[in-house]
Amino acid sequence: MAELRTIKVFDTTLRDGEQSPGNSMNIDEKLRVAKQLQKLNVDVIEAGFPIASEGDFEAVKRVAQSIKGPEIAGLCRANDKDIDRAWEALKYAGEKGRIHTFIATSDIHMKHKLKMSPAKVLEAAVKAVRRASSYTPNVEFSCEDAVRTNLKFLAEVVEAVIDAGATTVNIPDTVGYTIPFEYFNIISHLKQNVPNIEKAVISVHCHNDLGLSVANSIAAIQAGAGQVECTINGIGERAGNCSLEEFVMAIRTRHDILPFRTNVATEQIVPASRLLSTITGISVQPNKAIVGANAFAHESGIHQHGVLMEKSTYEIMTPESIGLKTNILVLGKHSGRHAFKKRLTELGYEFSDDDLNKAFERFKALADLKKEVYDEDLDAIVADEVMRSAEKFKLSHITVTCGSFAVATATVQMEIDGTSVRTAELGDGPVDATLKAIKKLSKSKARLMQYNVGSITGGTDAQGEVTVRVSEGDQTVVGRGSSTDIIEASAKAYINALNRLHFKSERLHESL
């Protein structure tokens, strides 16, 4: 077998991934994801866009101060103010801090968005890299919309920014437009026509608008790229980014034709996927590659027979290789605090003593209701209890009356900014009445766009999981709640969405 070339994994879940609708995270949530990315052993964590808001700046700063191992990157436009602000946050990472600056290079972007000539764009790119290089030698430059850029001009820009000090040059498929053989040819062209290309690492950043982000990323490393930019669960703008788990496991599984490796600790993939879903409230679809609920499920009799005889007949990788335990039953009502804390730590969660106490109380209450407590139940406990500490709206209790010949009535008590309020509403059913009462108490003008109910685990004692999509103005968020009582889960999901709307509104206000 040929010697395996190491590909750097640049994770942008906290920057590009967080920009997609419903994926906004607060500072503490970003830090929790960053700590899991540290366990995943990615090479670079892009922690945010420091100039975007005070919240983004503080998040990048906290990550730079707290995370050891991976490099910490911050995105900035090609201007002095952005670059200075980025380094102000990144400096705490020392030599691990990476300034990532960019400007668009395609004709369509230069003409309609930037309204700049190619010469002016080239000048701005070089100036930005020089400015960034005055702070750190760890500078990445991106040619936004590179795949729709004139190849001669693209090569000219890449050569110039490397001369100016860029040690990584990113050739992004910003709009998910390219296909594998074309992308291979673009990277090959740069390798052959940029005289100083060996002085920098070629990076690629692929979007999934045509469903080709992983395939394009693989084509790029085959042509000589040395870094791939990706996200957990493939989240990101529009149709998302190259999925980290899919890319990493593709090259790990196919060493026979792909002579590459990464430094990723693949056993941390499932914990990372679950943590992100818990924080954002957006679950992956069951048939999602690698981390979907059905990825290692076999229903066909022929498949079941084959797997029982020899797993490799229908499984090209083991569940254990991505951190999926064969037996996911972990705790019950007789389990103690030490075992509970140990399992949560294994799942990627870290808590203060107060937060751990809240989670443990909820666990004991759930264990009294359920015979079996699964990892997915623990994820839901964390989502419902631990992350509620700083929220504007909190649910106190609900009382619902309903029946075949009765009008559904819900009495809801909440805390809003620490003040207890209560009301009752009628509705077409118990969920409708409950959400009406919450909306009345919160004085929200938000519209419920989508309401989905699912079961976290099997059995009639399973926790129900409710996901809602709520819109107000031009803001859309996803809320998630869980409980063995589906009405309570619905209330929690709706309140979670209202809190996310409030957080986004505050963040927007900060940036103005």
Q: What is the mean pLDDT of each successive set of 10 residues along the chain, which is 512 residues long?
A: 89 90 81 95 97 93 97 98 98 97 98 97 98 98 98 98 98 98 98 98 98 98 98 95 98 95 96 88 87 69 54 74 63 74 75 80 77 71 60 91 90 93 94 95 92 77 83 82 89 90 69 50
Q: What is the pLDDT of residue 327?
A: 42
DSSP assignment string, 254-307: TTTT--EE----GGGHHHHHHHHHHHH--PPPTT-TTTSTTTT---SHHHHHHH
Two structure tokens written together for 490: 């619905």
Q: CA-CA distance, 437 to 441, in Å (whole number)?
A: 6
- Convert the pLDDT of each residue in 179-189 to its tens digit: 999 999 999 99
Two structure tokens written together for 133: 């290089």
- Convert the pLDDT of each residue in 117-152 to its tens digit: 999 999 999 999 999 999 999 999 999 999 999 999
- Convert the pLDDT of each residue in 304-344 to its tens digit: 445 456 666 667 788 888 887 654 444 666 777 777 887 77
Render the burial of 13-36: b for 16+ CB within 10 Å, e for the rest: bbbbbbbbebbbbbbebbbbbbbb
Residue type, 341: K
Is 436 in contact with 425 (CB distance < 8 Å)? yes
Is 331 in contact with 340 (CB distance < 8 Å)? yes
- Tell me how far CA of residue 6 lies from CA of 221, 228, 264, in angstroms: 10, 11, 10
* β-bridge pairing 329-331 and 373-374: antiparallel
Render the burial of 42-66: b for 16+ CB within 10 Å, e for the rest: bbbbbbbbbbbbebbbbbbbbbbee
pTM for the predicted model, two decimal places: 0.80
DSSP single-letter state for residue 3: P
- Convert the pLDDT of each residue in 383-428 to its tens digit: 666 455 557 899 999 999 998 888 999 999 999 998 999 999 999 9
DSSP assignment string, 155-192: HHHHHHHHHHT-SEEE--BTTS---HHHHHHHHHHHHH
84 is in an annotated binding site: no
DSSP assignment string, 24-65: ---HHHHHHHHHHHHHHT-SEEEEE-TTS-HHHHHHHHHHHH
Q: What is the pLDDT of residue 370?
A: 67
112 is in an annotated binding site: no
Burial class (CB in 10 A: 0-12, 13-18, 19+), 417: exposed
* β-bridge pairing 227-230 and 8-11: parallel
For residue 121, the Cα-to-chain-centroid distance in whole angstroms is 31
Calculated CA dihedral for residues 190, 192, 193, 196, nearest 10 degrees:
80
What DSSP element (H or E) covers 426?
strand 419-427
For residue 358, the Cα-to-chain-centroid distance in whole angstroms is 25
Two structure tokens written together for 9: 């994994």
Q: What is the pLDDT of residue 328?
A: 44
Q: CA-CA distance, 495 to 507, in Å (whole number)?
A: 18
Provide the CB-side half-sphere exposure for 423 (13 A, CA): 15
Provide the CB-side half-sphere exposure for 358 (13 A, CA): 13
Sign of CA dihedral 276, 278, 283, 289: positive
Q: CA-CA distance, 227 to 260, in Å (whole number)?
A: 11
Q: What is the pLDDT of residue 310?
A: 67
Residue type, 359: A
Q: CA-CA distance, 183 to 187, in Å (whole number)?
A: 6
26 is in an annotated binding site: no
216 is in an annotated binding site: no
- The count of residues in the chain is 512
Per DSSP, what are the bridge partners of residue 373? 331
Q: CA-CA distance, 437 to 494, in Å (whole number)?
A: 11
Q: CA-CA distance, 479 to 24, in Å (whole number)?
A: 11
Q: CA-CA distance, 199 to 192, in Å (whole number)?
A: 13
